[in-house]
Amino acid sequence: MAGGVAGSGGLLPDRHPTGDFFVCGIFDASPKDDLASMEHPVFSLATRPDRRILRYERGGKTVEVIPSVKGRATIHDKDILIYCVSQLMAAMNAGQEISRKLQIKAYDLLVATNRDTSGDAYARLREAFERLAGTRITTNLETGGLQTTSGFGLIESWEIVRRSRGGRMISVSVTLSEWLFRAVVSKSVLTLSRDYFRLRKPLERRLYELVRKHCGRQRHWRASVTTLHAKSGSTAPLRVFRAALRRMIAEASLPDYHLEEVPGDIIAFSRRDQVVDGDGPLLAPGTLEAARALCPGVDVYALEAEWRSWWADTGRKPLKSADAAFLGWVKRRRPGAGGKAG
């Protein structure tokens, strides 16, 4: 059973099509996710409060997730962490000092994660902060090259710094866990498609995380339905999970990736006409620094990935100097530049 042409039928509308990521003075930060939580089913896929204590063990790594009375943090709550990680990575790539404590504007967070900005949205945002702070993790997972057994909340603390007259939060102070912050400092993160925030269903988001991590540096990845069921953290019976995968294949709405069911109860994943990380011409380390000087505050790693995709789309032409070609492309796409990047 093969997936069709990628469409938007299964995606939420793009509520804020500018695509800008604003916070802490950083413009256009690409969505980033930490590798550890991408691999392990930390977040709930349920739409109702999940108060079960869960323990996962695989390959000598253990994760125990203990929710609060308000339930385990959901995969939609994770949008807050992705947003924070994205801002920290953009700041770090721009040569700025970073810390575990961030002050973010609630409106910017809602816009960046493709949520509506109604009064109810702010109330739901507060509930998400409460679940993130209340969900406790005990794990021996390695982040930043350091393996420790420790317990912590997904966020250490949060505080509404300012409110509007009507009681709506305006600014929020968030302190990330040391575990998550260490992942940022060590750059143990991957860039996500902006369409990730348009995925409606929790399982779609979780599956995108898994394939993004495993297919990141290769064109193809295969996994059994049983393995995907375990890695996703889904509590649905295997037959129901398999049916959900088949619907996803038919809808073909997963960003960047093509899904296909192959014999042996296997799901095959492949990238949709894009150059994978690490493919294509090699760039010297100094070239990225030069690109950062040309576009201060912009995620140069996202720029590099975009350039590689453009290079592939335009026929993979031989380059006399990949570094010069990349920097020329960056100059042409800068705001106010006369030409186009293509």
Could you report the per-residue pLDDT of 208-256, keeping only the tens digit for each? 999 888 876 566 788 999 999 998 999 999 999 999 999 999 999 898 8
12 is a domain residue: no
pTM over 0.85: no
Residues 227 and 261 in one domain: yes
Residue 290 belongs to domain spanning: 285-333
CA 316/CA 281 separation, integer angstroms: 9
CA 110 and chain centroid, separation:
15
CA 56/CA 72 separation, integer angstroms: 15
173 is a domain residue: yes
pLDDT of residue 266: 94
Residues 30 and 142 in one domain: yes
For β-strands 257-262 and 32-34, DSSP reports them as: unpaired
Residues 152 and 72 in one domain: yes
Tell me the pLDDT tens digit for each residue of 120-150: 888 899 999 999 999 998 887 666 566 667 7
Residues 26 and 143 in one domain: yes
Residues 217 and 299 in one domain: no
Residues 123 and 261 in one domain: no
Average pLDDT, stretch 110-116?
90
64 is a domain residue: yes
Tell me the pLDDT tens digit for each residue of 175-209: 998 888 888 888 778 888 889 999 999 999 999 99
Question: Per-residue confidence at 26, pLDDT binned at 50, 70, 90?
Answer: very low
How many domains are there within the chain?
Answer: 3
CA 23/CA 172 separation, integer angstroms: 11
Average pLDDT, the chain: 80
Residues 137 and 256 in one domain: no
Residues 158 and 86 in one domain: yes
8 is a domain residue: no
56 is a domain residue: yes
Q: Domain of 222: which CATH number?
A: 1.10.10
Average pLDDT, stretch 264-276?
76
Residues 204 and 305 in one domain: no
Contact 270, 257 (CB under 8 A): yes
Q: Which amino acid is at 121?
A: A
For β-strands 101-105 and 150-153, DSSP reports them as: unpaired
As given in the structure block, the two tokens for residue 315 are 């026929």
